[in-house]
Structure 1
Amino acid sequence: MKVSSRPVVYLLHGDDEHAMQRFVQRMEEKLGDPATAQLNLTVLERENFSLGALASAAQAMPFLAERRLVVVHDPLAALASSQQREKFTALLENLPESTALVLLIHQRLQPSHWLLRWAATQGERVFIRALNRPQGAQLTAWIRAQAAERDGAITPTAAQLLAEAVGADPHQLIQEVEKLLAYVNYARPIDEEDVMLLVSGRVEGDIFALVDAVGNQNARQALKRLRVMLELEHPLRIFAMIIRQFRLLLLTRELMDNGATADEIAAALKVQPFLAPRLIAQARRYTLASLEHIYRRLAEIDAAIKSGQVEAEVALETLVAALTA
């Protein structure tokens, strides 16, 4: 193994596409001016990857620059046999220091994976980093960091609401953060009202906020949330979302009482992993019996709405008032 003062191979694995793109962009910037950079950059996509193509690109000398950058996307499918893997790792071990080879593996690799095991034997010659999408509190902190990088700010509660509305998609989150910063003209932090007003999918996020207010017996806040939602969506859709939320809480409470973990609850309910801790926190505010009672009450209201006995909007306001009384 050759001794190197800096990495020659950069092995990135995980599901955070945005972080991978940022990493590659920073590597490209180190190549110098854009014209020279393009002459020293080769990208091999999964469909055109081969050992021959990699050898040709990675062993070439840089042109008017210190290093060449070779970016390879998902080469693992072409390395199914042990013989192919041995040729691949031998090639990597003999790359010149004038090459920076970035391997982008768009999936999470377990520590036992053959590529990680090989990389661990290469010392400083191989740079290894897992890049996975942030979840839960990490996602909220990530959103706040993105706002700060753009010379803006977002309150913690607004960041949490944005995460609930959009999910863990970094590209969409950045678009929403930039839109919200432009809306507040970078003059003040983005707050919850801004998110509720502007962000696509905000009604889904507001369901959590509404149920939080109900669980805290905060009638004023719960009715405020409901009225904002009614301005954005049809009452019947909101009612359907409330039914779904309390069904999830009922199932979460049952699973919690049986000792299930957050990961097990997310898998059983088929929801995103970052939502499970929030469901658990809400379910703790209720007993199983109280959730069963609420769910029966929702079924009765559903029947009354469908039979024309009550308007959906009136039924929703009456329900929220009753649950927070």
Structure 2
Amino acid sequence: GDLHARNPMLAMLRNIAEVQTHPLLRPNDIPQWIMDRAVSAGIAIDPPAAYLLADSVGAELRILDSELKKLSLYREDGKIRKEDVAFLVSYVREQSIFKVVDSAIEGKSGDALRLSKQLINSGSSSAMIVRMIERQVRLLLLARDLRLRKVSTSSVGKRLSLSGFPLQKTLEMEKRIYHGRLEFIHEMILESDIRVRDGSISSDVALDLLLAQLRN
């Protein structure tokens, strides 16, 4: 968990050693960290590639360093480009579902529809996408409740079963999204689920209608 600056153990250690703090990078700082790391390692990388890598991996610095090295071997004679990251880094493919979820919650229906079609064409189910949106909405509602009750970040992470970048991203999104919108999305998902269960519409149609309804 988080250690407060006045933690007794830290106070004791300061008498015999130098205590350094290394806070988790904020999402906006990760691309610059990647570019700085690349320069120090003699690796050339385009900024768009750094941003895609940051968006895909998050603040997992060891993984970022490892992926940079793999990409540099692939692009041994040139600069790492955005398409290289998309081709080689498995996290990029895995992130597609989370981009659909984020776009849906933020009301970017066009992006959500486009990305969901790509996922379905690659073998994902529309029902799974809806379940992932529902899961994130529940996490955001719970995160808001815990924040209002002034629960510590480490305890929130345990309650949400999240840590690191996913936790940080969820907490930041919770502050951006109006509470009434989260309740609206949850209600729309429940209504959509009822219509699918009674056979009124298919899962594919239900997803398309849901994403259209969530447009800002």
> TM-score, normalised on structure 1?
0.50
Distance, in Å, in 1 between the alignment partners of 2:136 and 2:183 is 13
Q: Which residue in 1 is equivalent to 2:55?
A: 161
Q: Deviations over 1:105-144 (max 9, x none)?
A: xxxx942355x533x4xxxxxxx57586854345544333
1:21-72 deviation per Cα after TM superposition (whole angstroms, max 9, x unaligned): xxxxxxxxxxxxxxxxxxxxxxxxxxxxxxxxxxxxxxxxxxxxxxxxxxxx
Q: Indicate the SS of the match to 1:111.
A: helix
Q: Provide the C-alpha distance between the structure 2 equivalents of 1:188 and 1:268, rounded to a whole number of angstroms.
A: 42
Equivalent AA in structure 2 for residue 250 of structure 1: L
Look up the match of 2:180.
289
In 2, Cα distance between the equivalents of 1:144 and 1:180? 13
- Within a 5 Å distance, the mapping from 1:28-67 to structure 2 comes to none
Match of 2:141 among 246, 250, 253: 250
- Equivalent pairs: percent with the same residue? 24
SS across alignment from 2:15: helix
Higher helix share: 2
Two-structure CA RMSD over aligned residues (Å):
3.6
Q: What is the CA-CA distance between 1:151 and the residue it aligns to?
A: 1.7
Other-structure match for 1:34: none
Q: 2:118 aligned to 207, 218, 228, which one?
A: 228
Q: Is the 8 A contact 2:104 2:133 kept in 1?
A: no
Which deviates further from its counterpart, 260-269 or 290-299? 260-269
Pair 188,216 (structure 1): closer, same or farther in 2 beyond 3 Å: farther
- What secondary structure, in the 3-state scheme, does the structure 1 residue paired with 2:90 have? coil
- Structure 1 residue aligned with 2:107: 217
Structure 1 pair 218–200 and aligned structure 2 pair: CA distance change class (3 A): same
Q: Which residue of 1 aligns with 2:96?
A: 206
Higher relative contact order, chain-length normalized (CA < 8 Å, sep 6+)? 2
1:59-96 Cα offsets, whole Å, 9 max, x none, are xxxxxxxxxxxxxxxxxxxxxxxxxxxxxxxxxxxxxx
- Determine if the alignment matches structure 1 residue 136 to structure 2 residue 31: no
Structure whose CA Rg is larger: 1
Q: TM-score, normalised by structure 2?
A: 0.69
Task: Provide closer, same or farther for how the CA distance between residues 182 and 287 of structure 1 changes in structure 2, counting only shifts above 3 A.
Answer: same
Q: CA deviation at 1:324?
A: 1.3
* CA distance in structure 2 between the aligned counterparts of 1:321 and 1:210, rounded to whole angstroms: 13
Cα 1:307–1:196 change in 2 (3 A) is farther
Relative to structure 1, is the Cα distance of residues 239 and 147 closer, same or farther in structure 2, using a 3 angstrom cutoff?
Answer: farther
> Cα distance, 1:272 vs. partner?
0.9
**In structure 1, C-alpha distance between the alignment counterparts of 2:70 and 2:203, rounded to whole Å:** 33
Partner residue in 2 for 1:117: 15
After superposition, the C-alpha distances for 1:253-309 in whole angstroms (9 at most, x for unaligned) are 323344455444323312113333322332234332321221132233334445655
Q: Which runs of 5+ in 1 are unaligned?
A: 1-108, 121-127
| Counterpart Cα distance in 2 of 1:205 and 1:308 | 31
Count how many residue pairs are aligned between Structure 1 and Structure 2.
204
Q: State the alpha-carbon separation in 2 of the partners of residues 321 and 194 from structure 1.
A: 33
CA gap of 1:252–1:162, structure 2 versus 1, over 3 A, is same
Change (3 A) 1:242 1:214: closer
What is the aligned partner in structure 1 of residue 190 from structure 2? 299
